[in-house]
Each structure stands twice: as C-alpha cells, then as structure tokens.
Amino acid sequence: MYNLQHIKEKAKSALNKSAKFGPDIDLSTFVKTVEPTKEGKDLTELSQEELKNILMAGIDPTEQSRAGTYFQRDTGVLKCNVKQDGVEVIPIKEALEKYNWIYDYYWKAVSVDADKYTAISELELHNGYVIRSLPGSKSVYPIQACLYISTNQLQQNVHNIIIAEEDSELHIITGCATSPHVKRGAHIGISEFFIKKNAKLSFTMIHNWAEEMYVRPRSAAIVEEGGLFLNNYISMRPVKSLQMYPTIYLKGPDAVARLYSIIVGNPGSEYDLGGRVYLQAPGSRAEIIARTISNGAKIIARGHLIGEVPEIKAHLECKGLILNGGIIHAIPELEGHVDGVEMSHEAAVGKIAQEEIAYLMSRGLSEDEATSTIVRGFLSIDMPDLPPQLKAEVDKAIEASDKEVM
C-alpha cells in the first residue's frame, strides 16, 4: 500500500531545501490561496486581452482543433473535457481521490524531497492534470492544457502526470500564461511522464509569463522499450527567473528522447535551464538541442547526457546568439560509464555573422530584413515527429515575438 504519510513527511523534511540550481526564491512573499474557480465556463468567454495571452501560449479557445482541454485558472479547474476515445483527462486531485492506479505514478519519476519546490507542491497542492492515452489509442488532434494565473502575487502549485500506455500515440500542447494585470507571481509545476512500450508522446510547452514571474518546473520522464518522448519548450517572453532541468530516463531498449528548446531572453530575465538524459538500455538514443538568444538576459544553458550501457547514441547541441547584451553560459556535459557509448556535443555562443547579412543584402534584403531572417533561421529547429499542427503553433510563437527579438 502506498504510504501517503511517508510522502508527506519526506516533503516536510525538504521544505527549506534550496534547489541545486537557480536563485533561491522566498516563497513566503506570495499569496497561497484564492477564491476557487468554478468549472464550466467556456474559454471563449474570457476577455479579449486574456484570450490574446493564451493564444500566444498555443491554446485554442474554440477547442475545435483540440482533442481535449484542461484549463486551470489560479488554483481551480475552469475546464476539463475530452472529445477523443482512448484518452483520459482528469484533474489530479480527483484522480488521487478516486483511482488507486494513480499511485503507481504519483512521485515515481520526480522525488518529493528534491527541493523546497517539490515539497511545497505536495503539501499545498492546488491541482493539475492527469492525461492518459489508453493502450493502442492514437490521437489525431492534440490535447491542450493551460495553467493560467489571473491573481497578482499568487504562487500556483501544480502537479501533472502524463501516461502514454503501450502502443499509444499522444500529443499535448501546454501553455502557461498570466493575465495582463498580473505583474508578479510564482508557478511551481511538477510533471511526471511515463512512456510505455512502443508508445509515442510529444509534449510541447509554450511559456508566456509576466515580467516578475518566478517559475520552477520540475519534470522527469521514464521511457520504456521502443518508446519515444519528444519534449519541446518555447519561451520568448520576459520572466523574472526560470529554472528547470527536466530529466529523462531511457529505461527500455531502443527508447528515444528528443528535447528541443528555444529561448529568447529579455533584459531582467534570468534563465537556468537544460535537459538531462540517462541512457540506461542498449539501443537507446537521445538528442538535446537548445537555441538561445540574449537581448540582455542572463541565460545558463545546460545539458547532460549520461551513457550507462554500451550501444547507446546521444548528441547535445547548444547554440547561443548574443544580440543585445547579456550573458549566455553554455554548460554541456557528457558522461560515459562503459565501453561502447557514443556521445557528442556542439556548443557555440556568438553573434550574427556579417557575411551572412551581406549575402542576404546582395539578394535585395535590407540590413534589418537580413538580420531578422537569420535570427528566425537560428530559432527554427527541425522537430521530427511533431504533428504539423503543433509545428505551426511553435512557428506562430516564434513569429509573434519576432518583433520584440529585433
């Protein structure tokens, strides 16, 4: 039987434990409770300004092109539905009350006592989503999940669990955004991913935060034999401080993980992010690709590949462009533990090559057009296995902030 008491105690013991990376946040400065949101409101009834913010985070308020929606405003669930057979979307609080199976996953990929952020999400959980694709199911449209903050100074504690059962295919787009009047707040989000045998999961996350937001996602994934986990992260808008280091365990033979992130850092924003993949079974493969642009931000771009068994292959690519001041600090790490691993990395921090600008200008583009063409190219990563619809959302997010990048 699952020892809930034991979990709570572990959490309590970690309440003052600072995270290994990123500046420490004084969580006592945030509001913890608000009037709970009532379920049932249609997303299209949100104000125009709010709609704009969630649209920029890849959320479709009409829900037409989505197989299901989970929308959490502050601490409560505004909307939770699913239109597609073979997929379940359940608020995690409901799942924890009703279903025993959830305890096979709850805190099984992320440790509850990792730091004070994991601890607080156990002790003061607001809600979050459980999305599960049943064995063999294939979703045509993505499920969308939005974690939205509409109360100034709120600290939102969220826990999500995503399960792709054997032979299933699941696509999720998740947008995190704040209401236009929110200046400051904190978002703590635990996400645990379970990709079963031969399942395929794509998870695309677009952040659209406010300038004084503190964000601490805590994510981990376990990928079984033949499974594929595709994780895309896009953050183009200002944020005060964001630190995350999602960790993927490739446990089964031929499991694959691909992590792509696109970051544009604005003045006053501080990022410490990266991806870590443990390759624990033969034939497993991993690819981490990060593109960062600094317009005056402080960006630490990490990456860590750990090859524990032979016959694994992994590559890490970390490229940064400093366009307008700031710091980009790339920290790629490769760790081979046995003979027969094959791992590589490529890191670069630089500027736009004058030669490329001149080349485009000789085709008739102005200097500004040439520069933005090069920047857009830099940010566009080929993301294989991502459905075209989601690729379009990624492109849209990049395009929308293009003006601000320049």
Partner 1 sequence: MLHIEDLKVELAGRIILEHIDLDIHPGETHVLFGPNGSGKTSLLMTIMGYPQYQVKWGKIFFKGVDITNLPINERANLGIGMSYQRPPTIHGLKTRQMVMLCARGKNINPEELAARVRFENFLHRDINAGFSGGEIKRSELLQLMAQNPDLMLFDEPESGVDLENIALVGNTIAELLERDGFMDKDPTKTRYQQKKARTKMGLIITHTGYILDYVNADKGQVLYNGHLSCVTNPREILECISKSGYEECVRCITCNI
Query: Which residues of this protein are in contact with partner 1, per CB under 8 A?
Result: 353, 355-356, 358-367, 370, 373-374, 376-381
Least spacing, CB of residue 361 vs partner 1, in Å: 4
Q: Which is nearer to partner 1, 277 or 375 (CB)?
A: 375
Least spacing, CB of residue 365 vs partner 1, in Å: 6
Q: Which is nearer to partner 1, 128 or 387 (CB)?
A: 387
Least spacing, CB of residue 367 vs partner 1, in Å: 7
Q: Return the percent helix, strand and coil in the chain, to nearest 5.
A: 20, 45, 35
Helix axes 354-361, 367-379, angle to 10 degrees: 120
Helix axes 367-379, 388-400, angle to 10 degrees: 140
The residues near 186 (Cβ < 8 Å, ≥ 6 apart) are 25, 27, 30, 154, 155, 156, 213, 214, 215, 216
Least spacing, CB of residue 315 vs partner 1, in Å: 16
Distance CA 71, CA 263 (A): 24
Least spacing, CB of residue 355 vs partner 1, in Å: 5
Beta bridge partners of 70: 80, 145
Q: Which is nearer to partner 1, 179 or 371 (CB)?
A: 371
Q: Which is nearer to partner 1, 129 or 233 (CB)?
A: 233
Which residue is it, tokens 């920029």? 56
- The count of other CB atoms within 10 Å of the CB of residue 123 is 15
The residues near 239 (Cβ < 8 Å, ≥ 6 apart) are 207, 209, 210, 211, 213, 215, 269, 271
**Conformation bin of residue 385: beta by default, left when phi > 0, alpha when psi is -120 to 50:** left
Q: Which is nearer to partner 1, 167 or 317 (CB)?
A: 317
Least spacing, CB of residue 54 vs partner 1, in Å: 27
Which residue is it, tokens 């064995």? 135
The angle formed by the CA atoms of residues 151, 152 and 154, to the nearest 5 degrees, is 75
Q: Which is nearer to partner 1, 8 or 376 (CB)?
A: 376
Q: Which is nearer to partner 1, 9 or 395 (CB)?
A: 395
Least spacing, CB of residue 395 vs partner 1, in Å: 12
